[in-house]
Structure 1
Amino acid sequence: MLSIGGKEILIKAVAQAIPTYAMSCFLLPKGLCDEIEGMMRRFSWGQRDQESKIAWVGWKNLCKSKLKGGMGFRNFQAFNLAMLAKQGWRLLSNPHSLLALIYKAKYFPHGDVLNSKLSCCPSYAWHSIFRALEVIRCGTRWRVGNGQRIHVWDDKWLPTPTTYKVVSPPSLFDDFPMVSALIDHESRK
């Protein structure tokens, strides 16, 4: 009995809001995300039981922002990865928090969260965050500052929009050169 606008509000306020906490802690299985999205699709088009209705617009189009002609529904898998990437960012930006210290001691004792490896028998929470770290790796780059933590060849630190990395072949530097070796500290005074 709801209008299309009423169904949209109900879907966004209930179906998409309830799993938010779980999605910020754990990676939900793809099948579960697809099943929830299927229930939202069927509700949106007014299907009951096994009755079939015509979906006039594809679900991917409904998931686009309203500015791009969609209805702004969430893609559950992308939202799940974004929420987990937010937890990974917290570990990276607050390395002295209790959670970051616990994860560091267990999963990446000799580095930072972005350079961590998936060890054997990880907790499901860490496995979930680890899967979302690729989102952070793809979307971040270093601000140089003093350059002591930035590797010349491996880290994204240049302002060029292609790779943000040095593309020339490695030259005569240490085995693991840092950007600070390239900075002339005398000229900065």
Structure 2
Amino acid sequence: MHADKRNAKNLKQILDQYCASSGQKLSEAKSIIYFSENTPVDAKAEVCQILNIMTESLNDKYLGLQIVVMADRSYCFKHLVDRVRATINGWKENMLSIGAKEVLIKSIAQVVLVFAMMVFKISQNICKGISDAISQYWWGDDDEHGEMHWKAWWKLCILKSRGGMGFRDLQCFNMEMLVKQVWWLLSEPYSLCARVLRAKYCPDGRLLEAKPKNGSSFTWRSILSGLECLKQGCIWWVGDETQIKIWEDSWIPSSHNLKVQTPRGGQPGHYDG
């Protein structure tokens, strides 16, 4: 919301109505508020007084994720690398077999990242830092010396049926999670999340044609990265033909680029002789 008196009062009224209807109570002592850097001090004080929330958010997290993602993405997501390393360090004290290591990596070390990768596009440096930590644990490195890494980590990410170990390629997995978010927005257009995002970023309702805008959140930019990946392999299934743009959309399976090949203004199906 805008940091002004009118918006703060409206928000306060909504929260009061919710508490009265649900029988729940808002814990103001545990609530925090975040302002942009350009918000005047007087406006901050006024909004805080109306909402009775005096704690301002700086580097807080919600559900393990950064509330605000700064320009330095590597710094914002460095805690993911630290979290994986802390998890792995707790296992080094135990003498585990190769099979046990594989289970721990696949069921815990690579799973703790799922929620973050569903929301944000993680940078290559962060993915590499996480993969390096897991690789070092797999090959038996410790704080004093390293062991021989007999295969590159990307080879271990290949399916077992093709000679690898089936570990996740984190960058590919990250993109897969973002593509799933895009597909969910397309298949559930009337969900609350889809309606909010559509109203803010693509009011025309055509998510497949959405483009980055100035001031877009990092979450939305991450979703657009998944959209570009999805568009490389998606194709329209022709129904009532009311939404397809025949010259621009992908809808012809027999075409090399899934689009109409006849030049606009030409006569499809007309041959000399």
State the TM-score bracket (shorter-chain normalisation).
0.7 to 0.9
CA displacement, residues 69-123 of structure 1 (integer Å, 9 cap, x when unaligned): 1111001111111101111111111111111111111000124111011111111
Q: Give the % identical residues.
A: 41
Cα distance in 2 for partners of 1:31, 1:82 equals: 18
Q: Which amino acid aligns with 2:228?
A: E
Counterpart residue number, 1:96: 190
Question: Conserved in 1, the CA contact under 8 Å of 2:250 and 2:259?
Answer: yes
Rate the CA distance shift 1:50–1:139 in 2: closer, same or farther, 3 A. Answer: farther
Question: Conserved in 2, the CA contact under 8 Å of 1:45 and 1:53?
Answer: yes
Counterpart residue number, 2:204: 110
Pick from 136, 139, 147: which aligns with 1:45?
139
Rate the CA distance shift 1:159–1:37 in 2: closer, same or farther, 3 A. Answer: same
Q: CA deviation at 1:146?
A: 2.0
CA displacement, residues 112-148 of structure 1 (integer Å, 9 cap, x when unaligned): 1110111111112111111111111012101112222
Q: Normalized against structure 1, the TM-score is what?
A: 0.86
Counterpart residue number, 2:246: 152
Q: How does 1:114-133 map to 2 (within 5 A)?
A: 114-133=208-227
Q: Normalized against structure 2, the TM-score is what?
A: 0.61
Q: How does 1:1-189 map to 2 (within 5 A)?
A: 1-160=95-254, 162-171=256-265
Rate the CA distance shift 1:150–1:44 in 2: closer, same or farther, 3 A. Answer: same
Rate the CA distance shift 1:161–1:17 in 2: closer, same or farther, 3 A. Answer: farther
Cα distance in 1 for partners of 2:204, 2:132 equals: 43
3-state SS in 2 of match to 1:42: helix
Gaps of 5+ in 1: 174-181, 183-189
Q: CA deviation at 1:50?
A: 5.0
Counterpart residue number, 1:178: none
CA RMSD after TM alignment: 1.7
Q: Which amino acid aligns with 2:131?
A: E
Count of residues in Structure 1 that have an aligned counterpart in Structure 2: 174
Higher Rg of the two aligned structures: 2
Q: Which amino acid aligns with 2:138?
A: S
Question: Conserved in 2, the CA contact under 8 Å of 1:92 and 1:112?
Answer: no
